[in-house]
Amino acid sequence: MASLFIISPGKTHTYELGVSTTIGSSQEADIYLELPDLESVEARIDREGSNYLLSDVTGRGLIRVDRKPVQRHLLKEGDKIELGGSFLIFTSESKRVTPPRMQEPYPQPPPLAPAPTKETQEPSYQLAEAAPVPKRARPRPCIYCGRQILKGSARCPHCGELLGEEARKKAEEEAGPWSLLTDRAMATRGVKLAVMVRWVREGRIDRNSTVRGPSTRFQWRYAAETPVLSKYLGLCPHCQSPVAEKDVFCAACKGDLDGKGRIPPEKVAQVKKKVPKRRGKKRLVLLVSLLLIVGVVAMGYTGLWRYLFPAAQERWVEEKVNAVTLRFKVVVGPEHFGREQALLKQAAGASARGDFQDAITIYEGLMATYPDTDFAAEVSVLLQRTRGWQRARRRINLADNFRRNNMHAQALLIYQELKATYPDYPLMNKLNQRIADTRRALGTENQP
């Protein structure tokens, strides 16, 4: 009776075929394979006389016989069925198929020395010492496939790799990211692309060989479908058209043979023709001109020119203190005029920047230095006006809080009241800006 030798992850066993045998991932199937990619019943083997017919029940094309996808196949002696991640070997007779054993058996110990007799026994009544029994060689893992082998073996009986010192040095020189799946369902040691190309030319790799490497994202693929490697087989990995080893793109499908995602020069030229010429210089000049115009208008509207042009600010401050300095020169005398004039200019500059508390401190110090004089009366007027500006600044902060809370109508009332009460407010340009922004917000929010 025919049977299947099943090699699945973690176990191997033999199953004798009946009239109809089902294979799948369900425990109700005759041959249960614990693989997530399979259906409950993926394949079926029917006996027709002395022959056995393999059928793909689902039609998904996951069944391969000798690395070729099949839908229906008449099984022959030694056929290797690949299904998911398992292998099933068909035998026409009911005999057990075992994996290849190690070629070097354990060494047998030498025979023991014969026991001493009465004739050979010495008077000391001591037995003759037997010859030492050598210990059995301990198994060790293969450095390439990890299977157990005897220590000192020249070749691994499982993967077939040489284990000598020269072979190891050569393996280190040829080490790389590419691997080949052998007929024993085992991956070879990682090698460089040059070694894979050499194996192609030696005939060890054909179009149906299973390989993996960087161009396959380290996933198993057929060599004919592997970028970089397939062109050494004379095939395009995309359309299977004939190509040469020196080609970079396929002449039929224009695909990249090295898997780098490059675009053929013909397609690049077509794309460049479709892209219109950009008039970047003209647009850049227009944009810069517009930004300059907007910047000039903004400086004139917000008063930023005072900070950018200190000379103009100094003239503005000087006009504010001229009236006081002339009368102050007569009262205190020319010897104190320079120092006090500098203090007045400093106070006027602080008021112009909005630092009203600094100006108030300077004015109070001047009044305390020159009490009961006409100069003190003039400074008192400046002090009262500066205190009024300070109160106005506090009211402006209150109105700003109203604006942040979307109470634009109340904020607008405060701004307009301050503008009417303090027409000489130093930061009038900023107050006008606040009024304009508040009116704009009321217009967008449709508030009265």
pLDDT in tens, 292-349: 888 888 776 666 655 666 665 566 666 655 555 545 444 444 445 567 777 888 888 8
Q: Which domain holds residue 400?
A: 309-445
The C-alpha atoms of residue 152 and residue 142 are separated, in whole angstroms, by 11
> What mean pLDDT, rounded, does the chain reach?
77
On whether residue 293 sits in a domain, the answer given is no
Q: Is the pLDDT of residue 97 over 80?
A: no
| CATH assignment at residue 71 | 2.60.200.20
Both 17 and 145 in one domain: the answer is no
On whether residue 272 sits in a domain, the answer given is no
Asked if 15 contacts 30 with a C-beta cutoff of 8 angstroms, the reply is yes
Total residue count of the chain as it appears in this document: 448
Q: Is 94 exposed, middle or buried (0-12, 13-18, 19+ CB in 10 A)?
A: exposed
Number of domains in the chain: 3
Both 250 and 340 in one domain: the answer is no
Q: Among residues 215, 248, 266, which one ends one of the domains?
A: 266
Q: Which of 133, 69, 125, 86 is nearest to 106 (CA)?
A: 133
On whether residue 43 sits in a domain, the answer given is yes
Q: Is the pLDDT of residue 110 over 80?
A: no
Q: Among residues 231, 266, 301, which one ends one of the domains?
A: 266
Both 314 and 261 in one domain: the answer is no
pLDDT at 236: 92
Q: Among residues 244, 266, 288, which one ends one of the domains?
A: 266
CB atoms within 10 A of CB 110: 11
Both 256 and 350 in one domain: the answer is no
Q: Which residue has the higher pLDDT, 108 or 249?
A: 249
pLDDT in tens, 218-228: 888 899 999 98
On whether residue 338 sits in a domain, the answer given is yes
On whether residue 279 sits in a domain, the answer given is no
On whether residue 296 sits in a domain, the answer given is no
Q: Which residue has the higher pLDDT, 296 or 211?
A: 211
Both 316 and 403 in one domain: the answer is yes
pLDDT at 380: 84
pLDDT at 309: 61
The C-alpha atoms of residue 304 and residue 291 are separated, in whole angstroms, by 16
Q: Which residue has the higher pLDDT, 309 or 90?
A: 90
Both 173 and 244 in one domain: the answer is yes
Both 314 and 438 in one domain: the answer is yes
Banded pLDDT at 443 (limits 50, 70, 90): confident
Both 345 and 423 in one domain: the answer is yes
Task: Kindly state the average pLDDT of the residues 133-148.
Answer: 65
